[in-house]
Chains A and B, each alone.
Chain A
Amino acid sequence: MERIPILKMGPFLLVTIQVDLYDRLALTLENDLINMVSKTEAKGVLIDISAVSIVDSFMGRILGNIASMSKIMDATTVVVGMQPAVAITLVELGLTLSGVHTALDVEQGMELLRDKIGQLDKDEEGLYDSFI
């Protein structure tokens, strides 16, 4: 069966969608990603959709699902590289992807994830300080 590869890079998982998605492929990705988050204890998930020319309500929902599920598993999801035409279409369709972090490209997405993790570390330090 066709699958979208998930790469582990430090505390993050990287997914680059290079093929046209159909429903079952998107569902498999959702499933695989959540399992990987659990297995690798990843703190962040970065999904690059720069090669995706169509995001309809179903795929939009999958992206939202991945973000909510990873959040419950203590990981942040960033969707990067959305084509302008896709963004225009999504909003007109009525899907705003609320709850999903976005960035313009992979680099900025990684930065956003690093910031989030940095914040976590600081919070923990702060907590530790207050104990002493």
Chain B
Amino acid sequence: MIVLSKEKLPIQREQDVVLFRNRIKELATKIGMSLVNQTKLITAASELVRNMLRYGGGGITHLEIVSRNSIPGVRLIFVDEGPGIKDVTLAMKDGYSTGKSLGLGLPGAKRLVNEFDIKSESGKGTTVTIIRWKNGL
């Protein structure tokens, strides 16, 4: 996989989320991603960035255009230094939430992207990486 472009965007307040979503849209449009695929990617990102704000106390997002076998895609990495997720397997289950939400955030985000990776260490923070390829596969 080749990284074609990368940038960082810190997320500290709810309003930063709007800017973040717009920037993803620009990148996805740049590589010619269809509207449906764009919407799925941005919705997944919206779930993850909310988790980062709510549970991780904010953090840094990395936005990248990547390419594999000459197919472009958008890779987003969410890094926080919050308390971490105690049980990642449980957190990935539909309907599970430690807050008062529907518990669709993590499992829903996973369904909306092509690649999903989560690493969390208690007391050190959480890193989530997602990729959506231009062709959606």
Q: Is the CB of A22 within 8 A of B94?
A: no
Size range of the interface on A?
20 to 34
Chain A residues 1 to 59 lying within 8 A of chain B, measured CB to CB, are 20, 22-24, 53-58
**A24: nearest chain-B partner, CB-CB:** B14
Chain A residue, CB-CB nearest to B18: A20
The yes or no answer to A72 lying at the interface (CB within 8 A) is: no
B47:A89 contact, CB within 8 angstroms = no
Task: Summarize B's interface: helix, strand, loop or mixed.
Answer: helix
Report whether over half of chain A's contact residues are helix, strand or loop; otherwise say mixed.
helix
Partner of B104 from A57, A86, A88 at Cβ < 8 Å: A57
Return B88 CB to nearest CB of chain A, in Å.
Answer: 19
Inter-chain CB contacts under 8 Å: number: 69
Q: How far is the CB of A109 from chain B (nearest CB, A)?
A: 22
| The residue from A20, A55, A61, A88 contacting B101, defined by CB atoms under 8 A apart | A61
Is A89's CB under 8 angstroms from B14's CB? no
Residues B43 and A58 in contact, CB atoms below 8 Å apart: no
Chain A interface residues toward B at CB < 8 A: 20, 22-24, 53-58, 60-61, 83-86, 88-89, 92-95
Interfacial residues, chain B to chain A (CB-CB below 8 A) = 14-15, 17-18, 21-22, 25, 35-36, 38-40, 42-43, 46-47, 50, 94, 101-102, 104-105, 107-108, 111-112
